[in-house]
Structure 1
Amino acid sequence: METHPPLTDRECAELDAHWRALNYLAAGQLYLRDNPLLREELRPEHVKPRLLGHWGTCPGLGLVYTHLNRVIGLRDLDALCVWGPGHGAPAVLAGSWLEGTFGEVWPDVGRDEAGMARLFGGFSFPGGLPSHTAPVVPGSIQEGGELGYSLAHAYGAAFDNPDLLVVCVVGDGEAETGPLAASWHSNKFLDPVRDGAVLPVLHLNGYKIANPTVLSRLPEGELDALLRGHGHEPLYVTAEPDTPAPHVHRAMAAALDEALERIGAARRAAREEGSAERPRWPAIVLRTPKGWTGPHDVDGTPVVGTWRSHQIPLARVREEPEHLRALERWLRSYRPEELFDGDGRPRPEVLACVPRGERRLGANPHANGGRLRRSLPLPDPAAFAVPVEKPGASSHEPTRVLGGMLRRLLEDTEERRDFRLMAPDEAESNRLGEVFEATPRAWQGATLETDRNLGPHGRVMEVLSEHLCQGWLEGYTLTGRHGLFTSYEGFATIVASMVTQHAKWLQSAREVPWRAAIPGLNHLLTSHVWRQDHNGFSHQDPGFVDHVLNKSPDVVRVYLPPDANTLLYTADHVLRTTDVVNVVVAGKQPCFDWLGPEEARAHCARGVGIWEWAGTERPDGEPDVVLACAGDVPTQETLAAASLLRDRLPELAVRVVNVVDLTRLTPRSRHPHGLPEAEFDAVFTRDRPVIFAYHGYPWLIHRLTYRHAGHERMHVRGYRESGATTTPFDMVLRNDMDRYRLVMDVVDRVPGLAVRAAGLRQEMQDVRNRHHRWVREHGTDLPEVAEWRWPG
């Protein structure tokens, strides 16, 4: 194996100069608002009035930044770094400022004394820079505000990027989270031929906010066995508070060189020699003291190497003169006069290891993935649409129909490889099995004769971890590629917090002018609440939609296509979007076909529409009642109720409204997809009762519509946490969303019907009671329900 010579004394000195400069800049951001180069004695007014931020992890992150610069320049690497520790932004900001990328994207923060002062003064200050690696930080693809996702993001970035090296710094506190613990398995899905490489750097600095970290206290043999058990070959770099800097730099350089040589050997074996064996990828374990190079103790209490250095080691520098002097001694210990010239610019020896152009960590285009985004070659949905001679005359499984379109998309992106499907062991269960005619499941492990659809170059990612599927897709889209995550609806809430973080990233990124738009983050939720009758109550939860719609309206969209053709056109739409989180809820069970291809296209474009063929409106007046619906099962129950009303109350003018885009229900002032007031009134009327059958929790519809005039006339039926292992119709009846209950609601709410149609209401209640007895005796739904067809 090729080896690289050890560092020369000059290289070691240059690396140390860069690292000291980075540490100085990181510490300066925590404390200073003026006097950035300490040209005069430090005074209280030079210090920020509120000290916010985290020091403990910064020196270790800075060491990684410095040494990545060296190997990138030396080997001409295309490299991206994912910074896992949540509050490590001062180190990353310092690195991007030193290399010049920060001043390029934010010209008023250039590489001079004035720019340094703005960098310091803006950190953790109102209107300034956050303490996480947010979208304003060049080179970042995740904020890290919530820990656990860095390694999954790193692998997502590496998929289908064969020349990319993704280094991922994993904090030892972060390593205790469930998503990160599962992420170590990602190497079993990394294709050494067509994917990039991921180099984890496990940063052990010993403590979280106030407690030791688990991995830092493991005996080295146990930690080594853990990492080897995950399929890695670990390399160790250890620094103590008094370890001489040259020793640390030489050890870190040697570890990185060794890791890169192992990665190169694995790639050559797979790409040139045809090896099919899964590589044992390297990982670096970097053990450094918490708060390294900072104040050793404060008021006689140890700080370096303890939890006390996690945030602000010297907290009372404006009030305590001795603390102020200690801060000045700390900052001057980096010898800033050796690092910056008279104008505050980094000296040449500080920048000797910094790469040029887009090779700089802050300038790599993969970290601004919209720059690399290409529109997908989406096939025409009409080519996969099902024929519909008349509404309700046929039925199909919507997601199975969609599977055909996704298969074509996977075929058409085989060469460019910028589309993937993520599924927690559910692609076939969710009726998307046709995709396997285009590509197998990604798999680098052993295979048996009985296995199906496994392959080393597959682009369907299946692992029984919603966290991994979500994290991989986020990393994939953040670096400019497209994808779809499909899951059982009831388990989507497992990743709700991850979606929150991504939505916040998107919202913040929209305010950063140099961030290019990235592909939408697309979720297909199926095996949904109304057809989990066989799996029971534990699988019945439509709450993911509620969670998503709590986020900024600029970045969230929710769609409920009622049949196969509307699902095709909805999918076509969401796969074209950028800078949003899309949620599509659709069924996998046989569903009536309501709209032909052209009608489906138009209906999806509107997002909400009147189905004139389903109602009994008079052409010369308003309806007496509006039956609205959103979702496939609510649509079926609404149309069944409309059919009953047509037969039993033919004089009643009924309007049927179907909603595909749920955000159309909000006022235009509250969401960019919202209906203007006049359009909302035209569809739902201003004064007639609206009976709304909704897929999920009914109060969401009230929340979306409450600012519209006449909101009080809207009566919503939906899921009310009444579930069991039962029959499909019993599910809707248990939750009072069945067709008979909807007819009763019409009788109760249309003026004059309560007396005139009392007999019909009683009849509907009798049918409900009969169903209750029937289903417990026969275990099936009533024949008139199971065999129902739209009479039109």
Structure 2
Amino acid sequence: MTEPTAAAAGRAGAPDENELAALDAHWRAANYLAAGQIYLMDNPLPAESLRPEHIKPRLLGHWGTDPGLNLVYTHLNRVIRNRDLDAICVWGPGHGGPAVLAGSWLDGSYTEVYPDVTRDARGMARLFRQFSFPGGVPSHVAPETPGSIHEGGELGYSLAHAYGAALDNPGLLVACVIGDGEAETGPLAGSWHADKFLDPVHDGAVLPILHLNGYKIANPTVLARIPESELDELLRGYGYEPVHVSGDEPLAVHRALARAMDDALDRIAAIHRRARAEGATDRPRWPVIVLRTPKGWTGPHEVGGLAVEGTWRSHQVPLTGVREDPERLRQLEEWLRSYRPEELFDDEGRPRPQVLACVPEGDRRLGSNPHANGGRLLRDLPLPGPEDFAVPVDAPGTTSHEPTAVLGGMLSRVMTDTAPVRNFRVVGPDETASNRLQSLYEATGKTWEAEELPGDEHLARDGRVMEVLSEHLCQGWLEGYLLTGRHGLFSSYEAFVHIVDSMVNQHIKWLRSSRALPWRMPIASLNYLLTSHVWRQDHNGFSHQDPGFVDHVLNKSPEVVRVYLPPDANTLLSVADHVLRSRDYVNVVVAGKQPTFDWLGLEQAREHCARGAGTWDWAGTESRGREPDVVLACAGDVPTQEVMAAADLLRRHLPDLAVRVVNVVDLTRLMPREEHPHGMPDAEFDGLFTRDRPVVFAYHGYPWLIHRLCYRRAGHGNLHVRGYKESGTTTTPFDMVVRNDLDRYRLVMDVIDRVPGLGVRAVSLRQAMADVRTRHHRWIREHGEDLPEVSGWSWSG
């Protein structure tokens, strides 16, 4: 039995005159609605001549791309209805919101999620008024837009999102409109290669529609100005077969685009048939439609003696000053009436039957497809539980494991258990094995559709580990996958995840906005595993040493972001179990791949992770009923090791000193409760860190982040943070912490310097700690490895 095709056969062929008239009516209606959203706040049809008070006081929005998007929406309706397709569309042009809002209002899906915006004159007035208006909706396609999985506020990611949505969705067609401005971005250029990772057996299909209207905001676009033959060579070089449509005469363009859509979908159906029924294994050449229409098509031809239609001047608001200038007001009314709204809407403002003749019904509508509201389809992962993979810890700090390798076993089980439903993927830039997650290959291979050579390992057409050296593409794939109702994990070297800073910004904004929309169902969280981190990039050097992604993420919406720094293998398992179950978050997990001491047994790890931050009583030297003289705090695996070694030194050399050891797993626990849902109330924070005792905090990343998180706490003045301070190179592991003053000897010196009276009593110990640091520098330059007492240290408490 073959999988359903994403381009099902149905009533195809050239449209007859009735169908052409229906297509043109829908397109004109959508164009009217798009223009009305930009300009009108009253008199929506218009039932009377326009007056200045009918016009919005601030004209905000973008017209230039809308007619082309409306054209695509209209023709996607046709093929969905004719072929009974399960289809969504990713709308790439940034500010094409009016078009997609118009399409969803016409198909009725907008009214279903916003009942006050009825499909009549009253609802049309609401639709117009709310657009780019205080308390309304954005000018770009956004979470508020039914049928959207793509934030249109930033360009470059549409095609990656489309491919992510198609993965493991064998019956889904994902159309993707790529604006010619967006086509100039680096992420989009890299995304064309996603066709080498699309399995025609288990995945759906992506139909890219490259919309060339010639201009960006104020300049021509590259792909619109190169010869068509050169563009064809480019697209064929990427592995596609272009189908061209161009023109400015509406009925001729309708005929040509209908033929092109049918041609492209027939090709896709043939690809699926060959792969699924006939067993073909060659990499297919997927179709791409190249659509050339004038920018601002059907809008004002010229304004103030300057050409507008077909030029960059139509990009935003082609007619300005409409309230103040009677001639501009007349020109706007003439433009709106050119669509003949009386033919498109009845006396009550409802779309006439001809307008809706090609519109699909129910969940087949672009605005209602459940894949575009992925929480409707989301199924819980069959997580095995950490106990099956936990490492034994008979005594803390005496054994070690590679935390990510331990996690790899758990992820491999998840891959195996999700094989029947194929709803879990791991993405990363060529680093799965490097990050010690190679156990995944016991369950699945690496997705690959291109040529294979002897010596290749773990490649598989149906693999669900995805590696490509484009962090943008990895991120886009995973976002598209999550937004359509599946689960996943992004594994990356810590330093290079910054490449997707802007992309995670947009996803966080999407999640925050979605949370305010009751009709948007929660989706699986976007989970990052950052490893090969700053403290163990001693071999790759300075270029690979940057822990700042955590700072970036913690600047964002607190209700959405979470950051975890598990100190060992069992805490990583506990954190992973939590984040893979979570919904609507961006979870950042920082964990090492090198051997790390095992500090906590699984039950201890679970309890500690549930707290997020807590004392390790067995590591400190507090006496019952006595406050600590100093708090040694840590967050991160290497800082935890250095704090534990410092506590060991203090225990041996200053046995009367009352030391409290605090470990932080959930970094957001440091924030006040008023600023983050995980934040500690002041009383809890003060109880853990004290209000008046010195706190020496060893942190994984840039030290000022801890100060920022804690600056409102009563004891902030007593807080001294050590962390990474941009002192990196190719060196030994311990030298990295020495260079950044995070080492155990410096931490002991910090305690001596900050505990009142200790500076005099422990002057000899402080001098000895400084001497070890000096000896360390000589030793590594002579021997090329760390001091024996460092490399051979283990916890002896």
TM score, norm. by length of structure 1: 0.99
- Structure 2 CA distance for partners of 1:270 and 1:759, relative to 1, 3 Å: same
Residue aligning to 2:620: 615
1:270-289 CA-to-partner distances (Å, cap 9, x unmatched) read 00000001110000000111
User: Paired residue for 2:608, among 568, 590, 603?
Assistant: 603
> Secondary structure in 2 aligned to 1:780?
coil
The answer as to whether partners of 1:3 and 1:258 remain within 8 angstroms in 2 is no
What is the distance in 1 between the residues matched to 2:492 and 2:309? Answer: 46
1:243-284 CA-to-partner distances (Å, cap 9, x unmatched) read 2x2111000000000000000000000000000011100000
Structure 2 residue 396 is matched with structure 1 residue 391: yes
User: Paired residue for 1:772, among 770, 777, 781?
Assistant: 777
Cα offset for 1:4?
Answer: 3.4
Residue aligning to 1:83: 91
Residue aligning to 1:41: 49
- Superposition map of 1:97-136 within 5 A: 97-136=105-144
User: Paired residue for 1:349, among 346, 354, 360?
Assistant: 354
What is the distance in 2 between the residues matched to 1:129 and 1:604? Answer: 39
The answer as to whether partners of 2:164 and 2:478 remain within 8 angstroms in 1 is yes
User: Paired residue for 2:738, among 733, 739, 743?
Assistant: 733
What is the distance in 2 between the residues matched to 1:7 and 1:367? Answer: 28
Cα offset for 1:778?
Answer: 1.5
What is the distance in 2 between the residues matched to 1:76 and 1:3? Answer: 9
Residue aligning to 1:292: 297
What is the distance in 1 between the residues matched to 2:778 and 2:619? Answer: 31
The answer as to whether partners of 2:686 and 2:715 remain within 8 angstroms in 1 is no
- Superposition map of 1:219-618 within 5 A: 219-240=227-248, 243=249, 245-618=250-623
> Secondary structure in 1 aligned to 2:319?
coil
What is the distance in 2 between the residues matched to 1:155 and 1:6? Answer: 29
User: Paired residue for 1:663, among 660, 668, 677?
Assistant: 668
What is the distance in 2 between the residues matched to 1:312 and 1:293? Answer: 14
What is the distance in 2 between the residues matched to 1:23 and 1:282? Answer: 27
What is the distance in 2 between the residues matched to 1:3 and 1:32? Answer: 39
Structure 2 residue 701 is matched with structure 1 residue 693: no
The answer as to whether partners of 2:182 and 2:188 remain within 8 angstroms in 1 is yes
Amino acid at match of 1:61: L
What is the distance in 2 between the residues matched to 1:222 and 1:599? Answer: 63
> Secondary structure in 2 aligned to 1:285?
strand
> Percent of aligned positions with the same letter in both sequences?
74
1:685-717 CA-to-partner distances (Å, cap 9, x unmatched) read 111110000000000001111111111111000
What is the distance in 2 between the residues matched to 1:311 and 1:620? Answer: 70
Any runs of at least 4 consecutive aligned residues in structure 1 with deviations exceeding 4 A, and if so which?
none
What is the distance in 1 between the residues matched to 2:659 and 2:714? Answer: 20
The answer as to whether partners of 2:10 and 2:84 remain within 8 angstroms in 1 is no
What is the distance in 2 between the residues matched to 1:239 and 1:595? Answer: 68
Cα offset for 1:772?
Answer: 1.2
Residue aligning to 1:145: 153
The answer as to whether partners of 2:294 and 2:309 remain within 8 angstroms in 1 is yes
Amino acid at match of 2:96: G
Cα offset for 1:207?
Answer: 0.6
The answer as to whether partners of 1:24 and 1:334 remain within 8 angstroms in 2 is yes
Structure 2 residue 124 is matched with structure 1 residue 94: no
What is the distance in 1 between the residues matched to 2:185 and 2:578? Answer: 35
What is the distance in 2 between the residues matched to 1:530 and 1:318? Answer: 62
What is the distance in 2 between the residues matched to 1:747 and 1:5? Answer: 84
The answer as to whether partners of 1:3 and 1:257 remain within 8 angstroms in 2 is no
What is the distance in 2 between the residues matched to 1:483 and 1:325? Answer: 54
Cα offset for 1:3?
Answer: 9.4
1:275-324 CA-to-partner distances (Å, cap 9, x unmatched) read 00111000000011110000000011000111000000001111111111
What is the distance in 2 between the residues matched to 1:669 and 1:424? Answer: 37
> Secondary structure in 2 aligned to 1:613?
coil
The answer as to whether partners of 1:2 and 1:261 remain within 8 angstroms in 2 is no
> Secondary structure in 1 aligned to 2:199?
coil
Structure 2 residue 191 is matched with structure 1 residue 186: no
Cα offset for 1:239?
Answer: 1.7
Residue aligning to 1:61: 69
> Secondary structure in 1 aligned to 2:334?
helix
> Secondary structure in 2 aligned to 1:269?
helix
What is the distance in 1 between the residues matched to 2:111 and 2:271? Answer: 38
> Secondary structure in 2 aligned to 1:732?
helix
Residue aligning to 1:154: 162
Cα offset for 1:159?
Answer: 0.3
The answer as to whether partners of 2:10 and 2:82 remain within 8 angstroms in 1 is no
Amino acid at match of 1:23: N
> Secondary structure in 1 aligned to 2:661?
strand
> Secondary structure in 1 aligned to 2:478?
helix
What is the distance in 2 between the residues matched to 1:93 and 1:263? Answer: 28
1:543-573 CA-to-partner distances (Å, cap 9, x unmatched) read 0000000001000000000001100010000
The answer as to whether partners of 2:167 and 2:203 remain within 8 angstroms in 1 is yes
Structure 2 residue 691 is matched with structure 1 residue 649: no
User: Paired residue for 1:712, among 697, 717, 725?
Assistant: 717
Greater alpha carbon shift after TM alignment, 178-187 vs 673-682: 673-682
What is the distance in 2 between the residues matched to 1:303 and 1:691? Answer: 64
What is the distance in 1 between the residues matched to 2:485 and 2:752? Answer: 53
Residue aligning to 1:73: 81
1:211-232 CA-to-partner distances (Å, cap 9, x unmatched) read 1111111100000000011111
What is the distance in 1 between the residues matched to 2:715 and 2:606? Answer: 30
Query: Structure 2: 5+ residue runs without aligned partners?
Result: 1-8
